[in-house]
Amino acid sequence: MIALLTDFGQEDGYVGVMKGVILGIAPDATIVDLSHDVPPQDVATGAWLLHTAWRYFPVGAIFLCVVDPGVGSERRPIALCAADRCFVGPDNGLFSYILPDADQAVLLDDPRYHLPQTSATFHGRDIFAPCAAWLARQTPLAALGSSAPVADLVSLDLPQPHWQAGELMGRILHSDHYGNLITSFGPDLTSRILGDTATVLRLGEREITARASHFAAGPEGAPFLLRDSSGHLAIAVRNGSAAELLGGQRGQLVSIVGLSEME
């Protein structure tokens, strides 16, 4: 199985061409479209979408990920393995959430596994798709190129919650298709926050205290807190968009007031 994640959209033929290359090398491959609607050149959003999806695919799955504003530059083409799955794409932070689980990585520098003619602007077609297809044909990862230390791969500066002046500080990590604002407060912190009704989330000048177990249980027309399917704390609006109502966007500061500091 090869899962595709790109910022290509569906208006041009880029996605179809990559599938054609894959099937030309591995005709029995099962291809799954994870998403092709990553905003153009938005590596951080691509990294988040991959992070929330990859563990739900079977062992042995290959993730072909192309959000690549640095194509043709000195950024490196790579493949890596984590939790018995493989990931192929640019070394630009797209695999940031995967790296803590990675146990092997290579630079895709063996031209035997590329297309004969390699463009400087479409490595998805000429390098990444062929290498993913060769992996689907049981080619060992190490055969695709030179070994690369996982610690040397590029990682984004992922926001981590921290305490400041008695408040738990975090950031908005992602605004999804519905306008739900997903924060950097992970599963454990989310349990603590939702379990303590005295806590307040601040976003700019807005304070949010309402919470719900699911969307339909939230108040109509007002923001509330709930556990996103990723496990992270999210701000939602029932039948509406928290991003539009609150003007929230990725990177914006949020804070939790009233939660006791963990020892």
The mean pLDDT of 32-53, rounded to a whole number, is 97
pTM across the whole model? 0.93
pLDDT tens for each residue of 116-130: 999 999 999 999 999
What is the distance between the terminal CA atoms of the chain, rounded to a whole angstrom? Answer: 44
- Strand stretches in 119-246, DSSP E: 162-164, 167-175, 181-183, 200-203, 206-208, 223-227, 233-237
pLDDT at 263 over 80: no
Query: Which residues face 235 on adjacent strands?
Result: 181, 225
Q: What is the pLDDT of residue 214?
A: 96
pLDDT tens for each residue of 170-214: 999 999 999 999 999 999 999 999 999 899 999 999 999 999 999
DSSP line for 63-121: EEEE--TTTTSSPPEEEEEETTEEEEEESSSTTTTTGGGEEEEEE---GGGS-SS--SS
What is the percentage of the chain residues whose pLDDT exceeds 70? 99
Q: What is the pLDDT of residue 37?
A: 96
pLDDT at 262 over 80: no
Q: What is the pLDDT of residue 1?
A: 96
Q: What is the pLDDT of residue 73?
A: 94
User: CB of 165 within 8 A of CB of 207?
Assistant: no
